[in-house]
Amino acid sequence: MKEVVLYILLMLTGKGYTIFRKTYEAHFVSLESSGPEVVDLSKIRFLGRDHRANGTVELMEDLDNHFTISAESFLDPNGDGEYKQLPFSAPIQELCKSMNSYWSYIERSLKYGENTNFPSDTRPCPLPKGTFWFKDVLIDTDAWPTMLPRGYAKGVVKLFKRGKYMGNATVVAHITNIS
C-alpha cells in the first residue's frame, strides 16, 4: 500500500511541475547527417539570430516498419565540446512506434501548410517518399519538461533498415535561461 501511495505522490509531483512557467528556451545550433541514400538532410540551414531551420529534406523511399531508429542524448553544459551522455535515450524500435511515442516533443514546432509541407498534422506512417520543405522553424519547448539542464544538448538518431545501419542525424540545440 505504501508503494502505491508513494507512486501516486510522485506522479502528482511530476504533473505539478508542468504547470510552472518555463525558464528556458532552445535554439538550433547545428545539424549533421550521414547516409543520404535514404534521408538527405544536407539542405537544411539555420538562419538569422534565432537560428530558424530552413530548407528541404528528401526521403528517397517510403519509411515503413522495415525501418527502425534509436536515439541518444548528450549535454555539454560549458560549451567546450565535452559532451556527457544523458540517461535519456530511445532503444531501437519501429519507426512508426517511435514517432507515436516521441512526436509530442516536436509537433508544436512543425505546422503543416504554415512552416512545412510535411504532413505533420496526420503523422503518416509509413513516412512518404518525397521532398519536404521547412521554413522558419523554431524549437517550441512547450511540451518539453519544465526543468531541463542548460547548455548544449545533442541528440543522435540512428536509422536502420531490416537491422542494417543506414545512417544517422545529429542535431545540437543551445538551451539557455530566458532573458
Query: Domains in the chain, please, with CATH?
Result: 23-177 (2.70.220)
Triad 177, 150, 158: Cα angle to 5°? 130
Peptide bond into 126 cis (omega under 30): yes
Give tens-digit pLDDT for 61-101: 999 989 999 999 999 999 999 999 998 899 999 998 988 88
Residue bearing the bigger pLDDT, 101 or 154: 154
Q: How far is it, in rounded angstroms, from Cα 155 to Cα 46? A: 17
HEC assignment per residue over 43-107 = EEEEECCCCEEEEEEEECCCECCCEEEEEEEEEECCCCCCCEEEEEEEEEEEHHHHHHHHHHHCC
Give tens-digit pLDDT for 4-29: 444 455 555 555 555 567 789 999 99
pLDDT at position 145 over 90 = no
- Over the chain, what is the mean pLDDT? 88
Confidence of residue 173 (pLDDT cuts 50, 70, 90): very high
pTM metric for this prediction: 0.83
Rounded mean pLDDT of 116-141?
92
Q: How far is it, in rounded angstroms, from Cα 142 to Cα 108? A: 8
Residue bearing the bigger pLDDT, 21 or 170: 170
Give the distance from CA 130 to its chain's centroid. Answer: 20
Q: How far is it, in rounded angstroms, from Cα 147 to Cα 90? A: 20
